[in-house]
Amino acid sequence: MRSRALPCHYLLSSHLASAIDAYAQNGRVIVLYLDMRLQFLYAALGASMAVVCEAASIYLVGDSTMASHSASEGIQGWGVPIASGYFTIPIVNRAKSGSSARSWIRDGFWYNTKQLLKSGDYVVIELGHNDGGGPTASTQRGSVVGEGSETVTVTLTNGTTEVVHTFNYYLGKMIDEAKAKGAIPIVSSATPNNPYENSATIVNAPSRFEGYAKNTAASKGVPFVSHYQACIKVYTALGKATTESYFPKDHTHTNSAGATQVAKAFIGGLKCSSARGILNGYFTFTSNALAAQC
């Protein structure tokens, strides 16, 4: 009997029925539930084949608003709370503080993450907080303004030259390379800074990177989550005092309580039409109970 590995996203949840139907065309199908989260083994008698699959994982690509932080920092990224109790498959938080789409490519963060991907994994790409300032900014992380094929060649502080591209180019590269590995990319827009800062009412003014992310997702045909607008809806409902309590250090980074709200907002954003229900089949009871934020 031959065997081969398959990603469990074909077998879990709503995907299970279609997988069984496909194999049923070749004969009677036996499904053995070995571990609902980790693996299934089933045999299609007509094909005389046993199939073992590994559980899909959700990889998070982002910056400090998503990354894990020590308690002494007083801030926390939303990638930490979302890893506990919201999905039935593992979360792998690869977020890097201070990173941008440009630095994810240039500094090897994406290359190293890409090596971990297997067919059927999901990759949430959320960047934008550190991508402004342009290609010549001293931070060495800004992208070229625009959404096309424009480039600017710069000399870095270490003396090397770099051809800098647009934000859309870097996102598109990650999307294409994730797809090449058989993974499923999901583009998410950057979270808002404190929207009540210096204002009695909420300010809904996304940066250009909101549109860049949305347009890249559309051009590549992948799901999109407006995490920015989902957070704005959550913060509007919570009000100024509660929302501002989530930003103890600066206007960008939340504390742990705020990170939990941002994580819930992401779940709410996944329930919007632009996300295409891509991860809804992996929601826990907790996630299913949360309202859509569209």
Q: Which residues are catalytic?
A: 64, 250, 253
3-state secondary structure of 173: helix
Gap between the terminal Cα atoms of the chain: 49
Q: In the numeric block, which tokens belong to residue 98?
A: 């201070």
Q: In the numeric block, which tokens belong to residue 202?
A: 């909420």
3-state secondary structure of 188: strand
- Nearest 5°: the CA angle 119, 180, 121 is 30
Cα→Cα distances 274→57, 101, 119, 174, 226, Å = 21, 22, 23, 19, 8
142 DSSP 8-state letter:
P
Reported in sequence order, the residue ranges of the chain that DSSP labels E, i.e. its strands, are 2-7, 29-35, 39-44, 49-54, 58-61, 91-93, 122-125, 152-155, 161-164, 184-188, 224-225
HSE (CB half, 13 Å, CA atoms) of 123?
30
Q: In the numeric block, which tokens belong to residue 86?
A: 């919201």
